[in-house]
Amino acid sequence: MVEVRYGSGGDAEGPTFGGLDSLRDHIGDCQRCSLALTRTTLVFGVGDPHARLMFVGEAPGRNEDLKGEPFVGAAGKLLDGLLEGIGLARSEVYIANVLKCRPPGNRDPLTEEIETCTPFLTEQIRLIAPSVIGTLGNFATRYVLGTDLPISAVRGRLFRIGGQRVVPVFHPAAALYDRTKHNVLVDDFKRLRSVLDSAAVSDADSGGAADTDFGGDQPSLF
């Protein structure tokens, strides 16, 4: 049995939006936390607004901060290659981060930054309504699953949070120079593909009610 509890930001109160564009307009030139003082560009997210597979990463890095798009550096190339390996293009998925602005020096996100920013991510997930979420690394996984467990303890496993299936995987940046993690990531992306395919069948047959591979009590987060 997989232990699952609610994420800290998942029940955030706030306005809801009719689409990603209106959410982006609402965020505007966000000054809600101190990362606004050091960022170059707010990185909202990119991809198919109706994607069946959504990735959640940690925060923009240097390249992302400059270009305003998630995963455009070396880790982004690795992500593109992993997607290609399971027959998907970047344009077919949606990619967003826990934080929309780069922490200085790529330091870890602070608790108050996560609490302030994640209502935006929660709203993105609600609007996109993906069948499957791939959480990339510790911070995304801990937020979405609401767990303190490290990514190494949950990677490749299938969880259900509300209407979404969640598969945590290593962050691509962690696998750039670690062949062992890279191989694990390749395997976990195959797992993601398999979950995506079975979700399509399950959703068509029963609105998602027929899945049997989930652990935990299936709390509703989003």
Residue closer to ligand SF4 (CB basis): 70 or 169: 70
Q: Smallest distance, Å, CB 27 to ligand SF4?
A: 6
Residue 85 Cβ vs ligand SF4, minimum distance, rounded to whole Å: 31
Nearer Cβ to ligand SF4 (52/100)? 100
The minimum distance between CB 212 and ligand SF4, in angstroms, equals: 37
Q: What strands, in cross-sheet order, belong to the sheet with 46-47?
A: 46-47, 94-97, 53-57, 132-136, 164-169, 159-161
Burial class (CB in 10 A: 0-12, 13-18, 19+), 212: exposed
Phi, then psi, of 115 in degrees rounded to 5: -65, -35
User: Is there a contact between 112 and 62 (Cβ–Cβ < 8 Å)?
Assistant: no
- The least distance separating ligand SF4 from the CB of residue 119, rounded to whole angstroms, comes to 9
Residue 33 vs 199, nearer CB to ligand SF4: 33
C-alpha distance from residue 79 to each of 8, 26, 32, 172 (Å): 27, 29, 30, 6
Compare residues 32 and 157 and give the one whose CB is closer to ligand SF4.
32
Q: Show the tokens assigned to 34.
A: 């101190």
Which is nearer to ligand SF4, 121 or 195 (by Cβ)? Answer: 121
> Side chain identity at 19, as an amino acid letter?
G
CB of 217 to ligand SF4, least distance (A): 30
Rounded Cα gap, residues 158 and 165, in angstroms: 7
Applying CB under 6 A, which residues contact ligand SF4? Answer: 27, 30, 32-33, 35-36, 42, 99-101, 113, 116-117
